[in-house]
A and B are shown apart, each in its own frame.
Chain A
Amino acid sequence: MEKADIKQIETEVKPPVASKGVVGWARANLFNTWFNSILTLVTLFVLWKTVPPFFRWAIVDSLWFSTGEACRGTEGACWSVIPANIRFILFGFFPYQLQWRPLLAMVILVVLLFYSRDRRHWNNSLVYAWVAGLFAMGLLMKGGILGLVEVESTQWGGLPLTLMLSVFGLAAAYPLGVVLALGRQSKMPAVKALCVVYIEMIRGVPLITLLFMSSIVFPLFLPEGVTVNVILRAQVAIIMFTAAYIAEVVRGGLQGMSKGQYEAAESLGLNYYQTMRLVILPQALKIVIPPTVSQLISALKDTSLVVIIALYDLLKTTQSVLSDPSWMAFSSEAYIFVALIYFFCCYFMSSYSRRLEKELDTGL
């Protein structure tokens, strides 16, 4: 009713010319005070100085499908570095003829992610879909059965590796993080101390030191002759790292539970595991879904650090292309391309996280 009334009034009394249309909008939003006016003018000036030259470099003067030599003469961007090397950048060492497999695996992942976006699809069958999907992805990547040629994990690279390190990293870190969070809340002093030490220690050091640990120190921990694949080692380092952060996220959720929940569960005669599994965790984990998505974003960005231990993730395959003499001069173009990939992945998740936050907010 109210809305309709307002509309009526709007149609009846016409606003002054200066407060409607483009002029009115600009007045209200750009020039409403003298300070804002100056700010607007300065910003416009900076944009005018930067955007057209960039546009010129990126679009007008650029080359898209040429050789590296042809690019040397131009003033503009040499985007040719990307189409010429796209398959190596995206898939690394995966056998050239078999690259439809990682492509298909990524399509499955994207479809699953999109399907999971809708909360109406959150039920048991989604869990099965994910298990099946992950299994199919693993099968496509690894092969070895059903007539698929086996591909060693050492040959995985590029975007699938980046996604695998982050998605599997988070998936495996999640249960570990929940256990650590519960351990930190535990009344048993030894367990609590262990968890606190672990969480604080991992959170106190940069990921890069853990990666160094996994790549140069860890082999010394194993008995002679036993080796662990370098990708798996890096994956474990990422899992250990992410778990500590997840633990803190989950702890936030646990602390958000009111004491009454514990008491109510206890009065029903539930034991610790039942209390946690049936009462506390389902609620606590629901609260922390948005920060968990942020954690996935961090994990995705952090995987780029495996460059430093020479794993061929998306950034490393790009750098590898850039060490080719004919493409060496065009790092900005290649980096911008990779930045765009990361940006779209992260933006997809962060916008989703924000939407979810709003949806869940009303329920609690």
Chain B
Amino acid sequence: MKRLTIVFAILAVFALIGSASAGTLDDVKAKGFIQAGVNGDLFGFGKPDEKGVWRGLDVDTARAVAAAVFGDADKVKYTPLTAKTRFTALQSGEIDVLTRNCTQTLSRDTALGLDFVQVNYYDGQGFLIPKKLGVTSAKELDGASVCVLPGTTTELNVADYFRSNGMKMKPVVIENTAELAKAFFAGRCDCLTSDASQLAGTRAIASNPKDYMILPEIISKEPLAPAVRHGDNQWKDIVNFSVLAMINAEELGITSKNVDEMLKSKDPKIMRFLGVTEGNGKALGLDEKFAYNIVKQVGNYGEVFERNVGVNTPLGIERGLNALWTDGGLMYSPPFK
């Protein structure tokens, strides 16, 4: 009996040890799902709802990849990661794609063994302050206590900004987003610094949002992009074009609602995009319908944006930099041909 138990235990342990080989696409197909690294605490980007269902812009990005690979956006499993664990998880092969509001930087792209793909959210770091402080510019923040999340580019940017402007600051560094926001509302610090998208979210949850304002200065560029392991070009292409497919769909005016009608379209661009004219899928090693599946099951970029972070959500973020290039934003997809 004891021996049997031990054998079972060992088997159980082995069941939990995964092993990857060859290309990520083959591995993913073999196991039947995509393991995505997400934030877990960030409303609008990656966070489970009260039923434990994951929601957010980054989550939808991972779902788009699953729709492209499997034709089923639900074949994703999520690993919540902290700022500390996110890169190790990708490097070690624990996750297949990292969609966790990561800022693309040169050193991360090179020294950490990662490859970033198409940016799925253009962000910038700003300051949120209570109006009663009477401050109108970040330049007036000398001597302030600043609430900041640790271990992020944010922490370095704010130190740089204060140094370069000859100002002093007192950082209040708390690991958890929710705890940090609460400390800020309670007046533990004078201002909260983070990516502008998160500031909007934080402001929205104040008991009276009108008492708070975001200062005009944006002190950094934060292109948030999904990342894959360095060296697997096919997988990188797949993730890259999954994101681009959402942007391209918006450019072409295809939404999850009209995508079935669009299949009948005679526009060669749309026919190529939706796989009516074949070729794109084969080039990526995917089903010809991959873009159709993404749009049908996840939506185009505009839909995803509005659903998770747009003006009708608690975050209430305008498109801004994340509008299509035709509307004055930065979202631009290369042609799908």
> Other than the known A219-B92, A229-B18, what 18 A-B pairs have Cβ atoms closer than 8 Å?
A87-B51, A88-B51, A92-B48, A94-B52, A96-B53, A219-B88, A219-B89, A227-B20, A230-B79, A230-B89, A308-B175, A309-B82, A319-B176, A323-B176, A325-B43, A325-B205, A328-B181, A331-B178
CA distance in complex: A192, B337 (Å): 69
Which residues of chain B come closer than 8 Å to A96, judged between CB atoms? 51-53
In the assembled complex, A145 has its CB within 8 A of some CB on chain B: no
- A13 to chain B: closest CB distance in Å? 64
Does A228 touch B at the CB level, under 8 Å?
Answer: yes
Which of B9-17, B114-122, B214-222, B317-325 sits within the interface?
B9-17
**A329 within 8 Å of B (CB atoms):** yes
What CA separation (Å) do A85 and B50 show in the bound complex? Answer: 6
Q: Which residue of A lies closest to B205 (CB)?
A: A325
Which residues of B166-205 have CB atoms within 8 Å of chain A's CB atoms? 175-179, 181-182, 201, 204-205
A/B interface sample: 22 pairs, CB < 8 A: A85-B50, A87-B50, A88-B52, A93-B52, A131-B5, A155-B52, A215-B85, A219-B89, A225-B93, A226-B19, A227-B20, A230-B89, A310-B80, A319-B179, A320-B40, A320-B47, A320-B48, A325-B314, A328-B181, A328-B205, A329-B182, A331-B182
- Chain A contact residue count (CB 8 A cutoff): 50
Q: Using CB atoms and an 8 Å cutoff, list the residues of chain A in contact with chain B.
A: 72, 84-85, 87-88, 91-96, 128, 131, 135, 138, 152-155, 157, 212, 215-216, 219-220, 222, 224-232, 308-310, 312, 319-326, 328-329, 331
Given contacts A227-B20, A310-B81, contact A88 B48 (CB under 8 A): yes
Instruction: Please measure, in the bound complex, the distance between the C-alpha atom of A201 and the C-alpha atom of B12, giving whole angstroms.
Output: 29
Q: Shortest distance in angstroms between B32's beta carbon and chain A's nearest beta carbon?
A: 11
CB atoms of A131 and B1 under 8 A apart: yes
Q: Which B residue's beta carbon lies closest to that of A228?
A: B17
Between A84, A87, A310, the greatest number of chain B beta carbons within 10 A of the residue's beta carbon is seen for A310
Please state if A232 and B93 are interface contacts (CB–CB under 8 Å).
Answer: no
The proximity string for B residues 13-49 relative to A, scoring 1 for CB distances below 8 Å and 0 otherwise, is: 1001111110000000000000100001111000111
A227 and B52 in contact (CB under 8 A), knowing A152-B77, A216-B88, A219-B91?
Answer: no
B interface with A by C-beta (< 8 Å): 1, 5, 8, 12-13, 16-21, 35, 40-43, 47-53, 77-82, 84-85, 88-89, 91-94, 175-179, 181-182, 201, 204-205, 207, 314
**CB pair B52 A220 closer than 8 Å:** no
User: When chains A and B are docked, how far (Å) is the Cα of A93 from the Cα of B18?
Assistant: 21
Alpha-carbon gap, A226 to B18, bound state (A): 6
Instruction: Report the Cα distance A128→B4, complex, angstroms.
Output: 12
Chain A residues with Cβ below 8 Å from B82 are 308-310
- Within the complex, the shortest CB–CB distance from A213 to chain B, in Å, comes to 11
For residue A113, give the distance in angstroms from its CB to the closest CB of chain B.
20
B19 touches A219 (CB 8 A): no
- Say whether A229 contacts B93, CB under 8 Å: no
Q: Which residue of A91, A310, A324, A331 is within 8 Å of B52 (Cβ)?
A: A91
Top 8 A-B residue pairs of the complex, sorted by shortest distance between their CB atoms: A219-B92, A325-B205, A323-B178, A225-B20, A93-B52, A229-B16, A310-B82, A227-B94
Given the complex, which residues of B lie within 8 Å of A87, measured CB to CB? Answer: 50-52
Residues of chain B with a CB closer than 8 A to A328's CB: 178, 181-182, 205
Contacts of A212 in B (CB 8 A): 84
Chain B residues closer than 8 Å to A326, beta-carbon distance: 205, 314
